[in-house]
Structure 1
């Protein structure tokens, strides 16, 4: 029996054990983001097909809505238009806003059996930091990631560096990157030592630098931020210094969406990026690829990232129960292993790494364990009330600093005061 057949039978058994789903035809709508690239839609379609095969009374309509922000906007627009949307993968950091607006309901409402509770308790704690609040679970990790450092082992060898010893501290990273810069005869840079993207999700990269400074961007309740402490200013200054002082990466902003290709074309020897790019990088690189945890300063670490499954407060009881069963199916150990193997995203539970298929995969591709192992030193991604507005002021501060329009302190002082105004208003409105 092949892997897919075993998974289908597992899904069937899981579904038969889940009570209260009507034999009548149930139609589900699921919104889904494609934020990193690759053939993710085909993978998700295949998983949905397997669920439908194991659940003949359920039809799932998957709507691919672009990036995470697009997905949230389109799913909420459909709800406002009176359409039924039962589940969606959206930013893990959207949880507070979604809960506060009554859009989502807790998974705890559907936990009726010991098996349900075991499933709910199975996920890595670091991934649940952006999924739980007030003692309840509103987000189930699925398309989850940490930031990792990809590096070109061949470039390391050419520069006389040990390809099995990537930099482990900020000082080492700046030093190693300087040795990896390659200049042409006319003085132009043919290859940079390092690139850290500063468009798309600059706050996410800054969250890594903050963690490495021993700082957190916000409190656990999402009501206060910490943008302009001494450690934060030093972190942003270091990011700018990599371009302006150490000259190991381009000055100004670096595009999130094109950085993977820059790395594959060997325009940079190292890059910070989502582990969600792992499969595409490994499949397309013409050189020996290394993957490492991010370097430490005061301490190591990275924020988690990516998307959670949410149960939308919409549709009939039978539809919502079926949506819950769909989420359980998609996040089962075998499915999580399949998803991680084919994309590079982190398997969301230890059970997914205990599957035979995952054990075989990591034996052949040990790079796949880096992001999982980094979960031990991971922190929650920036999540607050009015999260979009708060992230925007921090993104603007980061980019203003990197482009030389402002000092790190001035930019972060401004971001702190703007974010405090936004959060004061949000806290007042929620009373």
Structure 2
């Protein structure tokens, strides 16, 4: 790909608002602000003759707790490699900083990478291809043990570039107490029609069925449930203006017009949806499986019962996967790449996927972890964690075309316009978005 085209693609990537495929507050300073302790750690490792590599990660709160714990355990597990973990904000922040550091020649050896961005980063030459490493260490890595439903975004053009790490799907969070108080079966809703019916009953009780942002991740799920796809098979044209892609927008617009759900807009839309659910103003919310632990704590603190479920089906169930994988940057030295590979293998092991799943709620990425006695016991005690695992049978990878992050922004804007503007039909809004998307995808 020509440099001009790739530079434009990277600009698109960094300016786009990616789907919120994880949770956790971004209340930490940048790695630069934390440089004192990190520099001290690196200096100490160097004096001990260890190979020191940097790992940049996204998100705070329980997600950060889990990542920092894993890094600490890795460093203590051997005496050859010292990993210095540095917080870099959300995925957008992280991606922008990695690109800038790569251009300046001092990128971290390892970084989280939101899955839909893998194609852009790989095709730009920023990522180390991992196929040879995986083939060499196949007995130790056991690549086939990763859940097949999570591997679609690990490959770009048939080559392996990442290992599934903290991965997710959107699920339905239900305030069971509100449903029971309204005389509704807490086992539902299981379909779009049932969701509408539940929302009507809740409205009569003075409550809101759902507060949901026009999030691209959730929209992708509704398109899949309708039997559609976001892009054409070859990724060169938009497909979301098909009847299957327009149906979710029509559904949302209808429910909003009748006061059955709320769709907030703007940068705080997701936070508004979470607050409405936490404050028991809305009975349902869509959210990442990464929020299970935190949501259970909120429900307990606010005195209501929480259950999770598949996202309601239309023609069928369907969800995109999300979250991040671990990747190695391509400009690291050979020694750093080998150290980074050891770190990737360790972080994505059976034992560590069990830990991060129980601590946060992200999907256990390995089949052996799901089948382990530890997680089977955990699922029996906390069935809310198992829903996303079971829903994986209906999962599909996210598009990874270079222009897709900008396409996602265009689609979200079109959805919001269709819902808020009485004069704009969902079909017209999505047709207009498709024309803009086609120009980006054809480059």
User: Does the aligned pair in 2 maintain the 1:196–1:273 contact within 8 Å?
Assistant: no
User: Does the aligned pair in 2 maintain the 1:384–1:390 contact within 8 Å?
Assistant: no
Q: Label 1:59 to 1:182 Cα distance change in 2 as closer, same or farther (>3 A).
A: farther
User: Does the aligned pair in 2 maintain the 1:144–1:305 contact within 8 Å?
Assistant: yes
Structure 2 counterparts to residues 196-345 of structure 1, below 5 A: 196-198=212-214, 202-219=215-232, 221-245=234-258, 247-250=259-262, 252-253=264-265, 255-285=269-299, 286-345=303-362
Query: In structure 2, what is the Cα distance between the partners aligned to 1:337 and 1:182?
Result: 43
Query: In structure 2, what is the Cα distance between the partners aligned to 1:308 and 1:182?
Result: 44
Q: Label 1:95 to 1:114 Cα distance change in 2 as closer, same or farther (>3 A).
A: closer
User: Does the aligned pair in 2 maintain the 1:401–1:408 contact within 8 Å?
Assistant: yes
Query: In structure 2, what is the Cα distance between the partners aligned to 1:266 and 1:325?
Result: 45
Query: Partner of 1:9 in structure 2?
Result: none
User: Does the aligned pair in 1 maintain the 2:98–2:107 contact within 8 Å?
Assistant: no
The answer to whether 1:410 aligns with 2:423 is: no
Query: In structure 1, what is the Cα distance between the partners aligned to 2:317 and 2:274?
Result: 23
Question: TM-score, normalised on structure 2?
Answer: 0.84
Please give the per-residue CA displacement for 1:29-88, whole angstroms capped at 9, x wherever unaligned: 111111xx5332222111101100112221112121111111110111111112142111
Structure 2 counterparts to residues 150-229 of structure 1, below 5 A: 150-163=173-186, 165-181=187-203, 189=206, 191-198=207-214, 202-219=215-232, 221-229=234-242
SS at match of 2:290: helix
Question: TM-score, normalised on structure 1?
Answer: 0.86
Please give the per-residue CA displacement for 1:375-421, whole angstroms capped at 9, x wherever unaligned: 10111223322222221111211121222263211111111111110
SS at match of 2:105: coil
The answer to whether 1:110 aligns with 2:133 is: yes
User: Does the aligned pair in 1 maintain the 2:418–2:426 contact within 8 Å?
Assistant: yes
Q: Label 1:182 to 1:280 Cα distance change in 2 as closer, same or farther (>3 A).
A: farther
Query: Partner of 1:99 in structure 2?
Result: 122
User: Does the aligned pair in 1 maintain the 2:110–2:326 contact within 8 Å?
Assistant: yes
Runs (4 or more) in structure 1 with deviation over 6 Å come to none
Please give the per-residue CA displacement for 1:321-358, whole angstroms capped at 9, x wherever unaligned: 11111111111111001101111111111111123332
User: Does the aligned pair in 1 maintain the 2:221–2:318 contact within 8 Å?
Assistant: yes
Q: Label 1:29 to 1:297 Cα distance change in 2 as closer, same or farther (>3 A).
A: same
User: Does the aligned pair in 2 maintain the 1:170–1:297 contact within 8 Å?
Assistant: yes
Query: In structure 2, what is the Cα distance between the partners aligned to 1:311 and 1:113?
Result: 16
Query: In structure 2, what is the Cα distance between the partners aligned to 1:365 and 1:29?
Result: 35
User: Does the aligned pair in 1 maintain the 2:211–2:264 contact within 8 Å?
Assistant: no
Query: Partner of 2:13 in structure 1?
Result: none
User: Does the aligned pair in 2 maintain the 1:27–1:61 contact within 8 Å?
Assistant: yes
Query: Partner of 2:172 in structure 1?
Result: 149
Q: Label 1:262 to 1:122 Cα distance change in 2 as closer, same or farther (>3 A).
A: same
Alignment gaps of 5+ in structure 2: 1-47
SS at match of 1:143: strand
Query: In structure 2, what is the Cα distance between the partners aligned to 1:115 and 1:396?
Result: 47
Alignment gaps of 5+ in structure 1: 1-22, 184-188, 426-431
SS at match of 2:326: strand
User: Aligned-pair distance for 1:218?
Assistant: 2.0
User: Does the aligned pair in 2 maintain the 1:195–1:268 contact within 8 Å?
Assistant: yes
